Structure 1
Amino acid sequence: MDPAPNPASPEVSETFVRELTDHQTAMLAFIRALMPGSSAARDLLQEVNIILWQKREQFESGSSFKAWSFQVIRYHLMNHRRRLASRGWLIFDDELVEKISPALEADPGELEGRHQALNHCLQKLRPKDRELLQHRYSSGAPLNDYAKAINRSAGTLKATLFNLRAALRKCIERRFHEQGLPLQ
């Protein structure tokens, strides 16, 4: 029986680095899905990369690197969310994250297809509607502030956002149907 490979050996480190590199896109997408609206996704990915490197000896060669790394991401983000919650940030609770995370472990190619469909559909919107969506999902500023700035009520903007999300959903579904892609 061959002895177990030394985790510090150059060939094991090279294999680990290859796996880590190959999964960066999927890991970033997973972090973004678990932390929607967070501008810290790339920073969190770098933190996870360091943790994965420190735990590389725990990775069993031949097993699923994606499953292992996503589990590490889940635990790291749970701790990160607890730190944010202690500072008064409103966040998803751990139970919800555990329920939705398996659905987020999609193939990066599928995520890219969804991203392209979303971009296509966003381009079909009026500029002021894209601006509203950008403000709501990227700025982090309260909707009430934006409503005051454009002289509209927050209730009207909430209704507009509801309608925009429904229109985007239909557009994306239509785009997937036209391309013969499954929409899960």
Structure 2
Amino acid sequence: MQSDEEEEQEFVALLTAHQGPILAYIRSLMPGFSGASDILQQVNMVLWRKRESFELGTNFKAWSFTVARNMVFTQRRKLKKGAWLIFDDDLAERFAEEFEEDDESLDRAHRALAQCVTQLRPHDLELVRKRYAEEVGLDEYARDLNRSPGTLKARLFKIRANLRRCIELQLQTSPQS
């Protein structure tokens, strides 16, 4: 039987070893979101607080991913209430399920997204880049283009819907590695 100190050391080792996979999982659920590291820190705090409920020798990755998934979906709900436009929950849920089943699935999903993004029209790609990569607000970008924020919001909705369909098609037709 291990001492409390030995169990704590083993838990710390598991937590440390899984930082990369947990962060990748969070990013798979929140593509383009710059706060993934902040969510990871929140996940770490929850895992630490709940460490006594984890049974050593069981699947740490599955347990930690469940906590991460809950934290991500909490964050997604907060972002939906604000000005952020994010991929819908169904697509995020699909990424989560595939990631949990097989790490290769995340690579497939990212490849599908990358392929689909290359098919965007230049002005749609620019809108996506401004909104998600550069995190420019819709109001600000609309002023720059002399367009209404509602028009850009509607266009982003259509772009995300098209990307979703494209990704789903790519995932259905691409061979699994």
Q: Tell me the TM-score normalized by structure 2.
A: 0.65
* % same residue: 44
Change (3 A) 1:159 1:90: closer
- Which residue does 2:104 correspond to in 1? 109
Aligned positions of 1:8-157 closer than 5 A:
8-9=5-6, 13-14=9-10, 16-17=12-13, 19-32=14-27, 38-49=33-44, 52-53=47-48, 56-73=51-68, 90=82, 104-105=96-97, 106-107=99-100, 108-157=103-152
- List structure 1 segments (4+ residues) > 3 angstroms apart after TM superposition: 29-38, 46-58, 70-81, 100-103, 138-141
Q: Which runs of 5+ in 2 are unaligned?
A: 84-88
Please give the alpha-carbon distance, in whole angstroms, between the structure 1 residues aligned to 2:120 and 2:39: 32
Q: Tell me the TM-score normalized by structure 1.
A: 0.63
Q: Which runs of 5+ in 1 are unaligned?
A: 92-96
Change (3 A) 1:35 1:7: farther
Change (3 A) 1:130 1:79: closer
Please give the alpha-carbon distance, in whole angstroms, between the structure 1 residues aligned to 2:30 and 2:53: 26
Q: Compare relative contact order (CA 8 Å, sep 6+) and give the higher one, 1 or 2.
A: 2
**Superposition RMSD on alpha carbons, in Å?**
3.9
Structure of greater Rg: 1
- Which residue does 1:94 correspond to in 2? none
Greater share of residues in helix = 2
- Which residue does 1:162 correspond to in 2? 157
- The count of aligned residue pairs is 165
